[in-house]
């Protein structure tokens, strides 16, 4: 096992910029720092932690990441990440398939599932319309949602999107695309703060917003 050297102590590392003793460590730090919310200081700390672990545990970690990346794919129905053709939610016969909740990404799906109030199905858009970020309707799973609605059987579509300009723009666009469907469109009550992502809302607020949803008015 590699023992962390004295120079690896955070108080020593960041008094001034230092050249790392190994190009392999440097390369690992560069890759770790590409993750969201991870700066070079945190990246270096994580890399040094991995360096101090048993080689077998590091290999297991790396293999799990590679297996996840190569094996996980969107559900053929709702686009929730899964390793099967159909995710466990869509395959569950006890879920209400007449209600579909549209969310931005899987983090919002997990947030709603955590409160235990919703028993319908989902549709993961994969983002929201954001011209500033170069994200348009074609980059989302809008067509798949319209196709689901056109097949019939869905009575209500809940637009559980962020209370932001991008979320409202996306909801307005979806309402236009679904205007010919027989589905009732609803949206979460505005208990969710404007500008707040669903995954950061507390459970009480999220539960209240879901239970007190309102008809969508574009």
Q: Considering the domain boundaries, does residue 53 fall inside one?
A: yes
Q: From the CB of residue 82, how many other CB atoms can be counted at a distance below 10 Å?
A: 20
| Strand pairing category for 156-159 and 184-187 | parallel
Q: Does the residue 122 lie in any domain?
A: yes
CATH number of the domain residue 133 falls in: 3.40.1360.10
pTM for this predicted structure? 0.76
Residue 1 lies in a domain: no
Does 105 fall in a domain?
yes
CA–CA dist 177, 175 (Å, integer)? 5
Average pLDDT, the chain: 88
Q: 204 and 174, same structural domain?
A: yes
| Residue 204 and residue 120 share a domain | yes
Q: Do 128 and 177 have their domain in common?
A: yes
Q: What is the DSSP letter of 205?
A: H
Rounded to the nearest 5 degrees, what angle is found at the Cα of 198, between the Cα atoms of 196 and 200?
70
Same domain, 114 and 159: yes
Domain that holds residue 159: 81-215
End position of a domain, from candidates 53, 71, 89:
71
Structural domain ending residue among the three candidates 21, 51, 71? 71
> Are residues 121 and 160 located together in one domain of the fold?
yes
User: In this structure, are 106 and 211 located in the same domain?
Assistant: yes
d(CA 85, CA 76): 6
Of 18, 51, 71, the one marking the end of a domain is 71
With a CB cutoff of 8 Å and minimum separation 6, the contacts of 1 are 52, 53, 54
Distance of CA 154 to the CA centre of its chain: 24
pLDDT in tens, the chain (218 residues): 555 554 455 544 444 456 788 899 999 999 999 999 999 999 999 999 999 999 999 999 999 999 999 999 999 999 999 999 999 999 999 999 999 999 999 999 999 999 999 999 999 999 999 999 999 999 999 999 999 999 989 999 999 999 889 999 999 999 999 998 889 999 987 766 667 777 887 787 787 778 777 787 76
Residues 88 and 41 occupy one common structural domain: no
User: Does one domain contain both 189 and 152?
Assistant: yes
Say if residues 104 and 128 touch (Cβ distance below 8 Å): yes
Residue 151 lies in a domain: yes
Residue 157: alpha-carbon gap to chain centroid: 20
Residue 113, token pair as written in the block: 């599932």
Torsion sign (Cα): 56, 59, 64, 65: positive
Decide if 192 contacts 209 (C-beta within 8 A): yes
Cα distance between the two ends of the chain: 61
37 and 121 in a single domain? The answer is: no
Q: Are 60 and 117 contained in the same domain? A: no
- Does 39 map to a domain? yes
Pairing of the two strands 81-82 and 73-74? antiparallel
């Amino acid at each position: 096992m590699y023992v962390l050297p004295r120079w690896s102590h955070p108080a020593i590392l960041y008094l001034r910029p230092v050249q790392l003793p190994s190009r392999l460590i440097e390369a690992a730090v560069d890759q770790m720092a590409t993750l969201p919310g991870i700066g070079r200081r945190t990246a270096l700390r994580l890399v040094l932690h991995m360096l101090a672990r048993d080689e077998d545990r590091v290999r297991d970690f790396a293999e799990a990441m590679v297996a996840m990346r190569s094996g996980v794919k969107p559900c053929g129905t709702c686009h929730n990440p899964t390793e099967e053709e159909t995710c466990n939610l869509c395959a569950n016969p006890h879920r209400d398939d007449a209600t579909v909740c549209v969310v931005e990404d899987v983090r919002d799906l997990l947030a709603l599932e955590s409160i235990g109030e919703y028993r319908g199905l989902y549709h993961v858009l994969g983002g929201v319309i954001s011209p500033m970020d170069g994200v348009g309707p074609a980059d989302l799973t809008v067509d798949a949602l319209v196709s689901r609605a056109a097949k019939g059987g869905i009575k209500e579509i809940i637009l559980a999107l962020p209370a932001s300009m991008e979320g409202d723009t996306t909801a307005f666009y979806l309402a236009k695309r679904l205007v010919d469907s027989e589905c009732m469109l609803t949206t979460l009550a505005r208990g969710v703060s404007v500008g707040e992502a669903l995954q950061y809302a507390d459970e009480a607020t999220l539960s209240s917003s879901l239970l007190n949803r309102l008809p969508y008015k574009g």
